[in-house]
Amino acid sequence: MTKKKKTIARKPPRKSPRAVSRGAAAAAPPRRARAAARATRATARRIAAFALERKAADVVVMDLRKVTDVTSFFIVCTGASTSQVKAIADHVLDACKKARLDVYQVEGYDALRWVLIDLIDVVVHVFLPDVRGYYQLERLWGDAPFERLDESAAEALP
């Protein structure tokens, strides 16, 4: 004689109240999204101005929002020597701390050839000239619109 297996009806998984409220909060009104985009652009330009305060050369702010989801902006700049790369990176880190901008991670600070400062929405790259020429980030991310900043443009920032 064979036994019949009982089948147990399974209930669908319950959605937590948090999961339901997250979906509603994620839909921001368009005006708020535009204001956030302007704030991020202004933050990127402000951080670029921090680099210019330590005489960073060839400062470029790249808008990556339509190209990738990894980050919103790249700031690429050059220091003439390892001492200047260190000074630029230190000043950007200190100024971001004073401005209450959270730095997520810093890479390359030991070698001082390419220092990467990750602020999630903005990533700062401080290069030596030969390293910048080798990696050519502007060419790699060539689809992204960019803006070159110099000292006069940085002084005009609020």
The tens-digit pLDDT sequence of the chain (158 residues) is: 566 666 555 555 555 444 444 444 445 445 545 545 556 889 999 999 999 999 999 999 999 999 988 999 999 999 999 999 999 999 999 999 999 998 999 999 999 999 999 998 999 999 999 999 999 998 999 888 989 988 766 565 55
Q: What is the pTM of this model?
A: 0.74
Residue 91 included in any domain: yes
Task: Count CA within 13 A, CB hemisphere, residue 86.
Answer: 6
**140: containing domain:** 30-155
Residue 20 included in any domain: no
Residue 23 included in any domain: no
Per DSSP bridges, beta strands 114-118 and 122-127 are antiparallel
The CATH number linked to 40 is: 3.30.460.10
Residue 25 included in any domain: no
How many domains does the structure of the chain reveal? 1
Residue 127 included in any domain: yes
Residue 9 included in any domain: no
